[in-house]
Amino acid sequence: MILSIFNSKNLALQLVKFRIKEIYKDTGKNFHFFIKIQLNVFVFATIAITLGNCINNFRDNWVRSLPPEYSQPNWKVDGKWVRVTPPKSAMNSQYHKNTWGEVIEFQSESIDKGTFQKRYWKEDMYGTDKKREEFIFDGTYKRSGNWILLTTLKKRDVLTNKLEEFDAKLLYHYDSKENNLAPMLYETGGVEKEFGILYETKNAYMEDEFFFRARKNFTKKEFQAHAYESYDR
């Protein structure tokens, strides 16, 4: 599939570079022709970048929904799932220490849907100075097979008690061997970044060797806790 072969942004950039080289061949010093060429390049670059964004969006869409065909889950989701996060510091600095963590607690309404609450906290110590932030996210979830889709609806700042609407969806995968949950994209404290299992997976929802290899690489990264382990295991 084209979505699994090409990185859309790199593809768009390569197309633009190729077009520029072709256009500027044998242009001479004709001023009007040069202006025409400039417009041509601008239009082509706009189209290429737009195409790249469309491919990106299409590729990412599947991690915002469950598989089209329903499969009854056979694993327990109720309870707490903890993201084990070892303390970090800049180059083993004795001056700066960082501790953080996340816990998701699920409460089922039926076998395939329910509500969840995710708590995120982070604390930085700079010598004797301490900086802390803590947020609670509330939402709903739906399940199918080993997949669970979390839809976040609200975010509350624990320190200020400020409550705000929060619209986000992200797909997670359950591995029975590891008994853990892994998000398809990197996400911490409600903020996503463009790396994760999605970018190493060939086909949407396909639990094949490529998927599990990408999943293992993502969840086992040193000093990067990406999986949520069952607290009741």
Report DSSP letters for 88-137, one per residue: B-GGG-SSEEEEEEEEEEEEEEETTEEEEEEEEEEEEEETTEEEEEEEEE
Our count of domains for the chain comes to: 2
| Among 155-164, 194-203, 204-213, the least confident range | 194-203
Q: 186 with 92, same domain?
A: yes
3-state secondary structure of 34: helix
Q: What is the pLDDT of residues 187-196, one digit of tens each?
A: 999 999 998 9
Specify whether 59 is located in the same domain as 94: no
Judge if 110 and 6 occupy the same domain: no
Same-domain pairing of 103 and 216: yes
Report the 10 Å Cβ neighbour count for 167.
Answer: 10
Rounded Cα distance between 103 and 123, Å, is 15
Q: Are residues 43 and 105 in the same domain?
A: no
Q: Classify residue 70: in a domain, yes or no.
A: no
Kindly state whether residue 97 falls inside one of the protein's structural domains.
yes
Q: Which of 64, 87, 116 corresponds to the end of one domain?
A: 64
What is the residue range of 9's domain?
2-64
- pTM summary value: 0.74
Q: Is residue 156 situated within a structural domain?
A: yes
Q: Domain check: are 18 and 106 in the same one?
A: no
pLDDT one-digit tens code per residue, 12-71: 556 655 655 555 555 554 545 555 556 555 555 455 444 444 344 445 789 999 999 999
219 and 139, same structural domain? yes
Same domain? For 15 and 105 the reply is no
Summary mean pLDDT of the chain? 81
Q: What is the pLDDT of residue 5?
A: 39
Write down which residue in 18, 41, 64 finishes a domain.
64
185 and 117 in a common domain = yes
Domain identity same for 58 and 83: no
